[in-house]
């Protein structure tokens, strides 16, 4: 049995794979993923200084509003890193707050490298005992999907997950992601698979993730990232894993569009909202009310889409 299928050492969920823990969290709270993105402008809007103290107040207050209310929170590492070591220390405390509350954390770091460097990132974000370890992280596969092997192995062994960039919402991403592949062997952590001529690079990434998730129940631990703001043109019915769909709210994505675009998905859809939620702060009641509104709108859109299929 592969580690992702249920083996491996106990991790943040007591040995329960990430795919199972995510499915349970979504069943309890709905599919909304809420970002914690401490933009300079948002700190100012909350009446906070753009320094480590302001960052900590912002991020930990946001986390307190989300704790136990949503399936997944998604801190954006870059906005902590820009404050140097003090900002990274704040991120560590936010991750600790989430662990205490039992809320799943998807840390948005978009790391991607080769060999021992990728193994170093895996140690930092996907290994028990690391202060930066999260339940899952985002990864960039554009040095080749096989370059992610150290992270995939570490995640599977510790009960964590990864979300691999496939079809992002930025216009420049299409240059690479919609390019067609020639027939070639795509190396995953455990298997090789052939991609036929004419498939997009983004589809090749989805296929590689699907190969990692094969046979896992209720779904695998390898998700993909697909922007919520445009038609993605991808075949997702065989993914057997989660999809992170950023862009809800401020970037223009709507619950109704998401429910239609991802109707064929066999895993879990995680629509992500960040700025449109954070703009309701710093009042905790307003933040929680905004979360409930987004959750209700998503539930209604998904129910309506299911009724029309």
Delimit the domains of the chain by residue range. Answer: 3-302
| pLDDT tier, 112 (very low <50, low <70, confident <90, very high otherwise) | very high
Question: Which has the higher per-residue pLDDT, 307 or 47?
Answer: 47
Q: Is the pLDDT of residue 184 over 60?
A: no
C-alpha span between 118 and 257 (Å, rounded): 35
Q: Is the pLDDT of residue 59 over 70?
A: yes
Q: What pLDDT score does 292 carry? A: 95
C-alpha span between 98 and 109 (Å, rounded): 17
| pLDDT tier, 272 (very low <50, low <70, confident <90, very high otherwise) | very high
What mean pLDDT do residues 287-306 have?
86
Per annotation, catalytic residue among 29, 93, 110, 288 = 110
Mean pLDDT of the chain: 89
Q: Is the pLDDT of residue 307 over 60?
A: no
Q: What pLDDT score does 85 carry? A: 98
CATH for 3-302 is 3.20.20.70
What mean pLDDT do residues 57-72 have?
97
What mean pLDDT do residues 255-283 have?
87
| pLDDT tier, 233 (very low <50, low <70, confident <90, very high otherwise) | confident
Which of 8, 207, 276 lies closest to 127 in space, CA to CA? 8
Q: Is the pLDDT of residue 24 over 70?
A: yes
What mean pLDDT do residues 209-214 have?
96
pTM here?
A: 0.90
Question: Which has the higher per-residue pLDDT, 12 or 148?
Answer: 148
Instruction: State how far the alpha carbon of 86 is from the alpha carbons of 46, 55, 56, 90, 118, in Å.
Output: 20, 10, 9, 6, 24
pLDDT tens per residue across span 35-56: 999 999 999 999 999 999 999 9
What mean pLDDT do residues 198-225 have?
94
Q: Is the pLDDT of residue 28 over 50?
A: yes
What mean pLDDT do residues 69-89 have?
98
Backbone angles phi, psi at 263, to 5 degrees: -65, -25
Q: What pLDDT score does 175 carry? A: 81
What mean pLDDT do residues 164-190 have?
77
Q: What pLDDT score does 7 carry? A: 34
Q: What pLDDT score does 2 carry? A: 34
Its sign, for the CA torsion 151, 216, 128, 104, is positive
C-alpha span between 272 and 270 (Å, rounded): 6
Residue % of the chain over a pLDDT of 90:
72
pLDDT tens per residue across span 133-150: 999 999 999 999 999 999
| pLDDT tier, 308 (very low <50, low <70, confident <90, very high otherwise) | low
Give 48's contacts (C-beta < 8 A, 6+ positions apart): 54, 55, 57, 58, 282
Q: What pLDDT score does 149 carry? A: 97
Q: Are 269 and 255 contacting, i.e. CB atoms less than 8 angstroms apart?
A: no
Give 117's contacts (C-beta < 8 A, 6+ positions apart): none
What mean pLDDT do residues 141-170 have?
95
Would residue 280 show up in a list of annotated catalytic residues for this protein? Answer: no
Q: Is the pLDDT of residue 102 over 80?
A: yes
What mean pLDDT do residues 68-85 have?
97
Q: Is the pLDDT of residue 190 over 60?
A: no
Following DSSP, what letter does each residue of 97-108 receive, concatenated?
A: HHHHHT-EEEEE
């Amino acid at each position: 049995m592969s580690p992702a299928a249920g083996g491996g050492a106990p991790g943040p969920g007591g040995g329960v794979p990430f795919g199972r823990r995510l499915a349970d969290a979504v069943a309890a709270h709905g599919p909304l993923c809420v970002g914690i993105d401490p933009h300079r402008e948002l700190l100012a809007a909350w009446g906070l200084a753009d320094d480590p103290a302001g960052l900590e107040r912002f991020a930990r207050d946001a986390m307190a509003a989300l704790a136990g209310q949503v399936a997944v929170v998604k801190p954006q590492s870059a906005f902590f890193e820009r404050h140097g070591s003090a900002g990274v220390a704040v991120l560590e405390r936010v991750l600790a707050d989430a662990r205490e509350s039992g809320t799943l954390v998807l840390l948005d770091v978009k790391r991607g490298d080769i060999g021992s460097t990728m193994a170093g990132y895996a140690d930092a974000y996907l290994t028990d005992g690391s202060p930066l370890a999260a339940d899952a992280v985002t990864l960039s596969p554009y040095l080749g999907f096989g370059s992610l092997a150290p992270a995939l192995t570490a995640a599977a062994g510790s009960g964590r997950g990864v979300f691999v960039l496939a079809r992002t919402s930025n216009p420049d991403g299409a240059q690479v992601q919609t390019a067609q592949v020639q027939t070639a062997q795509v190396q995953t952590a455990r298997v090789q698979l052939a991609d036929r001529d004419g498939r997009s690079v983004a589809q090749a990434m989805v296929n590689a993730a699907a190969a990692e998730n094969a046979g896992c129940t209720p779904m695998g631990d390898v998700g993909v990232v697909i922007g919520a703001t445009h038609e993605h043109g991808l075949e997702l019915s065989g993914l057997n894993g989660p999809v992170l769909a950023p862009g809800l709210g401020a970037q223009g994505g709507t619950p109704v569009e998401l429910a239609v675009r991802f109707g064929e998905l066999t895993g879990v859809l995680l629509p992500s909202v960040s700025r449109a939620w954070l703009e309701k702060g710093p009042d905790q009641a307003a933040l929680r009310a905004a979360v409930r509104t987004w959750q209700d709108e998503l539930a209604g859109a998904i129910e309506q889409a299911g009724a029309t299929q």
